[in-house]
Structure 1
Amino acid sequence: MSARTSVTATDYVEDVSPGSGALPPRAWYASSDAASLSLNGSWRFRLSPTADAQDDSFAEQGYDAGDWAQVTVPGHWVLQGHGSPVYTNHLYPFPVDPPHVPTDNPTGDHLRSFDLPEDWPDLDGGGAVLRFDGVESCARVWLNGTDIGEFKGSRLAHEFAVGHLLRPAGNVLAVRVHQWSAGSYLEDQDQWWLPGVFRDVTLLHRPAGSALDFFVHASYDHTTGEGTLRVDSDVDGRVTVPDLGVDVATGEPVTVPVEPWTAESPRLYDGVLATEGERIPLRIGFRTVRLADGLIQVNGRPLLFKGVNRHEWHPERGRALDPATMLADVLLMKRHNINAVRTSHYPPHPAFLDLCDEYGLWVIDECDLETHGFTEQGWRDNPVDDDRWTPALLDRAARMVERDKNHPSVVVWSLGNEAGTGRGLTAMAEWIHARDTSRLVHYEGDPDCRDTDMYARMYASHAEVERIGQGLDGGTRKRRRLPFVLCEYAHAMGNGPGGLADYQRIFEAHDRLQGGFVWEWIDHGIRHPELGYAYGGDFGEELHDSNFVCDGLLFPDREPSPGLVEYKKVIEPVRIEGGPDGTVRVTNRYDFADLSALAFTWSYERDGESVESGTLSVPALAAGESADVKLPQPPEDRGDAETRCTVRALLAADTAWAPRGHVVGWGQFAVTPRTPVPVAPAERPVRTDDRITLGPAVFDARTGRLTSIGGVELTGPRLDVWRATTDNDDGAPWQSDTRHGVLWRQLGLHRMQHRLDAVESGGEALTVRTRVAPAAREVGLDTVYRWTSDGHRLRLTVSVTPEGEWKLPLPRLGVRLGLPASADLVRWFGGGPGEAYPDTKSASLVSRWESRVDGMQTPYVRPQENGARADVRWVELGGLRIEGEPEFWFTARRWTAEQLDTAAHLTDLTPGDTVWVNLDHGQHGIGSQSCGPGPLPQYFLHAEPAEFSFVFSVPD
């Protein structure tokens, strides 16, 4: 067949079928002894503005593409200088008129010439398969001038039989890729729209007698400790597993004693499937997944998912991930106590699942299906409830299941995400249940759970999750019998998410609640030469969803955010708490493993410095068990010193994912409390001309404003209630009635005015009376600053009394002061090493810490409030020592909150000549209202009378 002469936009691009010419889906494996040739690398590339702007002559042999550009495959052409990416959360960036797509449809023609290796088998000795692991959004393929087919399903593998077309040298592979197709209606995931050949392209030799497909069935009986193995294959062969002494024919079951596979102990057995034409390596994990007693159970035990949703992302290559990046993701997950991943919202690169098998992660494998944009029209014309689209849906389900069915890490199949309900989903569920009885099926969008084996929700509030755990949620009879999973929660956008520890307490309190998956793994920032990282709208998109694409636990460069550090602490598999009578209570929160792989240490710290330490003998508690372990006698109490004990659980030996000594969990508790040193007033304020002196301090006599302490010049301090709103403060648009960031601005808290009422310097104190209030409002804060000194130190006591009817909480409550830019090194005794807020402080460890001012900033892609340290006893910065009564929140940065608030990117922030310091009595909680619930009531910073003190001094 010769190349066709024309392609029109109404041809296969808008056909709702999955394609034509592709082989049936089959199991994926990394290698065999059959020959293979990677076609990754540099390809010739031509971009056209429409689907029918060019004819097909480029696919013919001899076509001169010497003046074409070059792109790298795997890759996205819009990230290689050809066009621009587009980001939308759920809105289709084209008119919703299924299956039609715009005439303006960027189309990329790709060309690759290749020779067969010299050792390639004789072309008459078997067939060959051309494999595409991922192309967005649809493609037509030619080899040596012959049209071999077309396909849709961007994140799914497609293969074509090409052995009869191959030549020893001068082969020409041509691929035409369209940005938009009918398939785009099924791929409305919350991510960048990035066309291109973004996964591997491989030529595979298929010898005569090789297996076209095989299915490894490896179950485990926890009552006998035996595993049963059966490998089904479309051709006869033998299966050998040397470590188990197994040598059986395909299709023949064998039962032998085995170690089971779990995410905590991912035991894999190496085997071989040998057929007449090929030897295929097998990595076999024995485990049994079932729904029993209303719970998701593996090997007879219920699971508690401590998971994340993972989009594939790299800040320069988009979804074209290399093996090192995929491994980095898995290692980071394991090192942060994550035990599960939902492959939102499509099957990942198949090599990622190999890593999950090897290192141990439970996987919910999700189909490449989302039609979220149809919610804008009440789900009218939704493809999943239109029989014309059902073959495409079944093709997507089959390509996921058949490709990934031999991975022990995959314990749940997901039908897709946010696609409404309909007959197509039911057809998918029925097909999957019939094809694979060894796994469960998930889908969130159907509240009746008609097609699923679990009740799944997104972003349910803490209170609702509690009700579900108690069985008070109602719903259909089937739903009430099913386990519950929060497939998305704790939206990790910007500063946050808050409330993780509160969710985890609820999960652990009710058996029906089997955990959840934080949204999401990584910020999808695109590296940009001028902006640092770009997000929606930075490429001139007419329709976009701004930085909603930056909502991960990792920054785009894969540095952990404070949210990931917090999550690690919240879900740590060993709980360590202070017990009675000098003991520590240790609880094993693993689902399967005992604690024999962990070593424990103890340390007593006095005022944040370790004074005694050692190892702690903890029994190898079984999963779920607890024990009270006696601690060594604490050091002798030293008057006013604060003594704390820290117990850590460390890896006792190197593992595949972390070295010996890696901290898995820790607990800290007080032994003796802090006793603040009093500052007895011994000096009186002295007024001289325009100055007032009090001990080491100098004040402006007219305003009562402090100007220096012991020669250290400063600006302020004065009351501050504003913070640069976080993504969670600002909330999602559909939460307009409760978005604190919006309401704070409406009230005017970002532009508070300070009125001086009196400066009183009589007696032993300097008292400054003010009123702080927003313009155009009658509410205000009556604020009194009272200064006293013992001659060496200066105490500030701030009293705040709200006036008027305050209906909102405050963003923060404290004072702000400015120090010279030379103030850089920060030392403090308090929570650290990273930032913390009222509902994100589980991972804040009280100790002595040190940082540069720039190192205290958290680089959220969209700048916002960040960098606060919690429970600070004292801080030293710029020649000053500041102590708090009670403990306080501390922030230091080289720009004001107002400058931070107006910045769109980190590159908008320019250091000034002042280091601005916030000393906060209180901070409002964070929550996750960028998509989920706001802060819980106990984390609200209510406008109510408050008094707090700071002691300033200049260290010797």
Structure 2
Amino acid sequence: MSGTPPAPGRTTVPYHEDRSPGSGALPPRPWYAGSDAARLSLNGRWRFRLSPTVADTDTAFTAPEFDDAGWSELEVPGHWVLQGHGAPAYTNTAYPFPVDPPRVPDENPTGDHRHRFDLPPNWPGGPAVLHFGGVESCARVWLNGTELGHFKGSRSAHEFAVGPLLRPRGNVLAVRVHQWSSGSYLEDQDQWWLPGIFREVELHSRPEGAVADHFVHAGYDHTTGLGTLRVSCDPPGRVTVPSLGLDLATDESATVAVRPWTAEDPVLYDGELVTPGERIPLRIGFRTVRVADGLLQVNGRRILLRGVNRHEFDPHRGRALDRGTMRRDLLMMKRHNLNAVRTSHYPPHPAFLDLCDELGMWVVEECDLETHGFRALGWRNNPVDDPRWEPALLDRARRTVERDKNHPSVIMWSLGNECGTGQGLSAMAAWMRRRDPSRPLHYEGDPSCADTDVYSLMYADHAEVERIGRRTEEPPDDAELAARRRDLPFVLCEYGHAMGNGPGGLSEYQRLFETYPRCQGGFVWEWLDHGLHRTTPQGAEFHAYGGDFGEELHDANFVCDGLVFPDRTPSPGLTELKKVVEPVRITEGGSGDGPPRTVVIRNLHDFADLSGLAFSWAYEVDGVAHASGTLTVPDTAAGATAEVELPPVLSAPGGTRADGSYPEAWWTVRAVLAEGTAWAAAGHEVAWGQLPAPAPGDRTGPPVGPPVAPRRSGADLTLGPGVFDPATGLLTAVAGEAVHGPRLEVWRAPTDNDEAASGPSDPGPAAAWRRAGLHRMRHRTDDVALSPEALTVRTRVAAAGTDAALRVVHRWTAAAELLRLEVTVEPEGEWHVPLPRLGLRMAVAGSLGRVRWYGGGPGEGYPDSRAAARLGRWESSVDALQTPYVRPQENGARPGVRWAELTRADGTGLRIDGVPEFFLTARRWTTEELDAARHTTDLTPGERVRLHLDHAQHGLGSRSCGPGVLPRYRLTAGPARFAFTFSAVR
């Protein structure tokens, strides 16, 4: 068949543009990692030629004798756009070509691949299949000059019968891959468009009598503790499970006592399936999934999904992931208390599911389907509502289910994502129910839930989730459908959009999940930032996003919305999520006045009791541990609560801090793994809580000292250890340290959530802040007054073009070696926007590069994203305080800080105490420089350390794709009072 597009008026289209799923491929079959049948990997260096259009190609390259010496080489699996041929492109929803289904542009990069291989000497001969794990987006295949067929469905496996075509030596495999095809209309999945052969290519021997299909049915009856095993197989054979004493014919059932498989305890029984031509190892997990009593249940219990959406991605290799990377991802998920994955928006590499079976993870597996770009067109010509596309849709459903039906970790099938509605989805759902009635179906895009077993939404706000939990949400118009939907369990298939600094509001979602049984958790969007690794001409490394490759249409850094940075470093968002979803809740107990004498341990596991955890306590004063020990906690059952006595009140040094304030005491209670597991070593921390403790010893403390009067000294004005500019009242030095400021600051480099607009009438917080001029505030000194006790500086802070202002009074006092600043802020005029921040901005010497603080840490925290901030003493370099978001933005604030010290290598420096506690930010560039940067390489360290001492910060929310900041975390302009004390560190 020619690869040339048809002339205008022709009624036929070339194979890559027809709506069919392809031709020549074998029916799908289950994937398994290996058997006693021979396999040969064809991965490695292939010869490669790229043509800009289909019209520039012919099929001469398929002949075995074709001379490809002038071609390039390419690594397979891989993407040619990541190996020097063309460029990647990113769009979120828009198709990067004119929408005219099933047609695609003439400008259709086409990659011709050739690979020469020999069979190993012990190759058995006879029937064999050529296996492709994944190719984007359409492949046409020849072996030794004979065409095998073509296929679409990028994330599905395809196989061809090739036994008679094989030669002992000199086999030539030729594959033509088109970047665009009719299949591209079904794969608009908010990710990089990355053409190529990106999963394994293998040759599988299929001797006579080899397994063509098998289906492991392994249910569990929670009322009896018995599991029932039945394995269907073509051709028939026998199944053995030695540890259960089973030796069965296929299609024969047996019921025995078993330990069930769950994400918390992923028990797998090793077995073997034997047919006349093949022996296949089995890993059997007994479990039953059903929707009953309005709940999604596994083994008779409601489960709570603490999940993430997961695209397959690597910053160097795109979607060509290796098993080691998959395992590292899953280990990181497990160590951060996650128990579920939605495979957005396609079947993952099947090895990932093997690992989910092994390590324990609930999986919602999605078909390779999304047509989101049609939404902007009012869903006109949407393929899922066009019967001509139904064969392609059903092919994708079949290839998903048949490949992965034997994984116990897969508890739901998902029809696809953001496809609107249509008869094609109904056809998929009907086929999946017939083929596998043991798993519920998921699809978010149809509010009627006509084809699904769970009610699913994405990015519903907290109020809507609560209404759903109460089953009082607004129903669909159809009364029968409304009644059915209200009987369904609810899942947020996407929430907590983790783009840039955020998400905020996770704790409030989790409390709703724990309060309302119908709300069974969800999947944060998403696991990983999809930044592609790049290097500047000067050798600096950074991660690129949409628009960095000259795309004519792109969605910028919306592809960087993960809990993990592209290099797989956990972001603060992942640390926050771990704390929010921890399966053990540790809170203070007791009642009445005074600190708690008991601690409440609530077991939020779905199945496991607490016998696998060890508990400890520590008694800390101002972050210094004075005593510690083990805490005896009973083996509390899943869903139950225990209240445990804390040790008696302990003695500790009394007195006051340097500024005269009193120290504070806290209990810290930790839950760690008592023994090692497959995903973490013994001692790994699962959960923690902090409770106020009785105050230590003597709280009277010595007086700080008599007040010091300000005085003029030449051109300067001095007050205790402080030196001021007499004209502006700005501090220029304290305790011998040169400083600049402090001055009131309200601006922050907007986060991705700040920048997000929800429509023309609501351009988002950052746009509103800029309209109000908060990024260009002017400072006017109205008065610098001296009294015997204080230096008082009055200023007015406002932007050009508005009468909205902040009246600020700085009252400086000194005692002994301490310099104290009390700040009073009063708004003036009409304020229609919240403030980004409210606090002081100042600069100190760049040599003060070490930071110690007592407050929240060790990572950053913001008002609605600080659950993971643990009160303690922490230490860091200024450089390490920065969070390297792919697109630079506000970051690095440490919340709840009582005091901080900035020091040099010799230990000398500056101390700052705050009342009330404050947010501390320290960086080597200004907020303006941070705001202007588009990549991390745009930030150049300056000669000074820039400090922000914030009384308050506006929250984060997840508005980049979801709800904004909850009302309680909005920073409304209003009266404020706060104070700081400055002193030397010697």
**Same fold (TM > 0.5):** yes
Q: C-alpha distance in 1, partners of 2:214/2:649?
A: 62
Contact 1:88 1:545 (C-alpha < 8 Å) held by counterparts: yes
One of 623, 628, 641 as aligned partner of 2:638 = 623
One of 90, 101, 114 as aligned partner of 2:93 = 90
Match of residue 579 from structure 1:
589
Secondary structure in 2 matching 1:434: helix
Spell out the pairing of 1:838-857 with structure 2 (5 A cutoff).
838-857=863-882
Secondary structure in 2 matching 1:596: helix
Match of residue 514 from structure 1:
520
Task: Write out per-residue CA displacement over residues 612-662 of structure 1, whole angstroms, 9 at most, x where no aligned residue.
Answer: 001111111100000110111132263432110000000001111000000
Q: C-alpha distance in 2, partners of 1:53/1:350?
A: 36
Match of residue 498 from structure 2:
492
Q: C-alpha distance in 1, partners of 2:84/2:763?
A: 42
* Distance change >3 Å, CA 736–CA 315, structure 1 → 2: farther
- Tell me the amino acid that sits aligned with residue 24 of structure 2: G
Task: Write out per-residue CA displacement over residues 43-96 of structure 1, whole angstroms, 9 at most, x where no aligned residue.
Answer: 000000011311101011111101100110110000001000000000000000
One of 680, 684, 689 as aligned partner of 1:662 = 684
* Distance change >3 Å, CA 839–CA 738, structure 1 → 2: farther
Task: Write out per-residue CA displacement over residues 154-173 of structure 1, whole angstroms, 9 at most, x where no aligned residue.
Answer: 00000000001101110000
* Distance change >3 Å, CA 293–CA 809, structure 1 → 2: same
Match of residue 570 from structure 1:
580
Secondary structure in 1 matching 2:611: coil
**1:7, CA displacement in angstroms?**
4.6
Match of residue 38 from structure 2:
35
Match of residue 26 from structure 1:
29
Match of residue 105 from structure 1:
108
**1:955, CA displacement in angstroms?**
2.5
Secondary structure in 2 matching 1:744: helix
Q: C-alpha distance in 2, partners of 1:772/1:763?
A: 27
Match of residue 683 from structure 1:
708
Match of residue 886 from structure 1:
916
Task: Write out per-residue CA displacement over residues 373-416 of structure 1, whole angstroms, 9 at most, x where no aligned residue.
Answer: 00111001000000000010000000000000000000000000
Contact 2:557 2:887 (C-alpha < 8 Å) held by counterparts: yes
Contact 1:604 1:634 (C-alpha < 8 Å) held by counterparts: no
Q: C-alpha distance in 2, partners of 1:738/1:147?
A: 54
Match of residue 17 from structure 1:
20
Match of residue 239 from structure 1:
239
- Tell me the amino acid that sits aligned with residue 206 of structure 1: R
Match of residue 944 from structure 2:
914
Secondary structure in 1 matching 2:206: strand
**1:737, CA displacement in angstroms?**
1.0
Contact 1:679 1:789 (C-alpha < 8 Å) held by counterparts: no
Secondary structure in 2 matching 1:104: coil
Match of residue 769 from structure 1:
794
**1:807, CA displacement in angstroms?**
1.3
Match of residue 415 from structure 2:
415
Q: C-alpha distance in 2, partners of 1:509/1:141?
A: 55
Q: Does 1:832 align with 2:857?
A: yes
Spell out the pairing of 1:342-741 with structure 2 (5 A cutoff).
342-475=342-475, 476-530=482-536, 532-580=542-590, 581-636=596-651, 638-639=654-655, 640-672=662-694, 682-734=707-759, 737=762, 739-741=764-766
**1:732, CA displacement in angstroms?**
4.1
Q: C-alpha distance in 2, partners of 1:673/1:379?
A: 64
Secondary structure in 2 matching 1:585: strand
- Tell me the amino acid that sits aligned with residue 708 of structure 2: E
- Tell me the amino acid that sits aligned with residue 794 of structure 1: L
Task: Write out per-residue CA displacement over residues 893-932 of structure 1, whole angstroms, 9 at most, x where no aligned residue.
Answer: 0001110000000000000111000000000000000010
- Tell me the amino acid that sits aligned with residue 901 of structure 1: D
* Distance change >3 Å, CA 779–CA 681, structure 1 → 2: farther
Q: C-alpha distance in 2, partners of 1:8/1:385?
A: 26
- Tell me the amino acid that sits aligned with residue 46 of structure 2: W
Secondary structure in 2 matching 1:395: helix
Q: C-alpha distance in 2, partners of 1:601/1:705?
A: 49
- Tell me the amino acid that sits aligned with residue 377 of structure 2: Q
Q: C-alpha distance in 2, partners of 1:609/1:76?
A: 53
**1:808, CA displacement in angstroms?**
1.1
Q: C-alpha distance in 2, partners of 1:900/1:676?
A: 45
Bigger mean CA offset, 890-899 vs 737-746: 737-746
Q: C-alpha distance in 1, partners of 2:814/2:395?
A: 78
Match of residue 906 from structure 2:
none
Bigger mean CA offset, 522-531 vs 837-846: 522-531
- Tell me the amino acid that sits aligned with residue 305 of structure 1: L
Task: Write out per-residue CA displacement over residues 522-556 of structure 1, whole angstroms, 9 at most, x where no aligned residue.
Answer: 00000001260000000000100000000000000
Contact 2:114 2:173 (C-alpha < 8 Å) held by counterparts: yes
Contact 1:722 1:750 (C-alpha < 8 Å) held by counterparts: yes
Contact 1:111 1:172 (C-alpha < 8 Å) held by counterparts: yes
Spell out the pairing of 1:791-802 with structure 2 (5 A cutoff).
791-802=816-827
Q: C-alpha distance in 1, partners of 2:313/2:589?
A: 44
Q: C-alpha distance in 1, partners of 2:816/2:265?
A: 63
Task: Write out per-residue CA displacement over residues 769-828 of structure 1, whole angstroms, 9 at most, x where no aligned residue.
Answer: 100001111100001110000131000001100000111110000001101111101000
Match of residue 298 from structure 2:
298
- Tell me the amino acid that sits aligned with residue 621 of structure 1: T
Q: C-alpha distance in 2, partners of 1:748/1:547?
A: 25
* Distance change >3 Å, CA 83–CA 690, structure 1 → 2: same
Task: Write out per-residue CA displacement over residues 504-523 of structure 1, whole angstroms, 9 at most, x where no aligned residue.
Answer: 00111101101010000000
- Segments of 5+ residues of structure 1 without an aligned counterpart are none
- Tell me the amino acid that sits aligned with residue 721 of structure 2: P
Secondary structure in 1 matching 2:959: coil
Count of aligned pairs between the two proteins: 950
Contact 2:734 2:983 (C-alpha < 8 Å) held by counterparts: yes
Q: C-alpha distance in 1, partners of 2:302/2:721?
A: 64
Q: C-alpha distance in 2, partners of 1:680/1:450?
A: 75
Spell out the pairing of 1:185-264 with structure 2 (5 A cutoff).
185-264=185-264
Match of residue 924 from structure 1:
954
Q: C-alpha distance in 2, partners of 1:354/1:82?
A: 33
Secondary structure in 1 matching 2:775: helix
Contact 2:130 2:159 (C-alpha < 8 Å) held by counterparts: yes
Q: C-alpha distance in 2, partners of 1:449/1:276?
A: 45
**1:680, CA displacement in angstroms?**
6.1
Q: C-alpha distance in 1, partners of 2:623/2:714?
A: 44
Task: Write out per-residue CA displacement over residues 225-280 of structure 1, whole angstroms, 9 at most, x where no aligned residue.
Answer: 11000000111100000000000000101111100000000000000000001000
* Distance change >3 Å, CA 559–CA 31, structure 1 → 2: same
Q: C-alpha distance in 2, partners of 1:734/1:281?
A: 55
Bigger mean CA offset, 531-540 vs 267-276: 531-540
Match of residue 9 from structure 2:
none
Q: C-alpha distance in 2, partners of 1:672/1:851?
A: 29
Contact 2:704 2:816 (C-alpha < 8 Å) held by counterparts: no
* Distance change >3 Å, CA 803–CA 796, structure 1 → 2: same
Secondary structure in 2 matching 1:358: helix
Task: Write out per-residue CA displacement over residues 350-374 of structure 1, whole angstroms, 9 at most, x where no aligned residue.
Answer: 0000000000000000000000000
Contact 2:25 2:149 (C-alpha < 8 Å) held by counterparts: yes
Q: TM-score, normalised by structure 1?
A: 0.98
Match of residue 322 from structure 1:
322
Q: TM-score, normalised by structure 2?
A: 0.95
Contact 1:474 1:480 (C-alpha < 8 Å) held by counterparts: no
- Tell me the amino acid that sits aligned with residue 847 of structure 1: G
* Distance change >3 Å, CA 417–CA 823, structure 1 → 2: same
Q: C-alpha distance in 2, partners of 1:33/1:932?
A: 50
**1:710, CA displacement in angstroms?**
1.4
How many percent of aligned residue pairs carry the same amino acid? 65
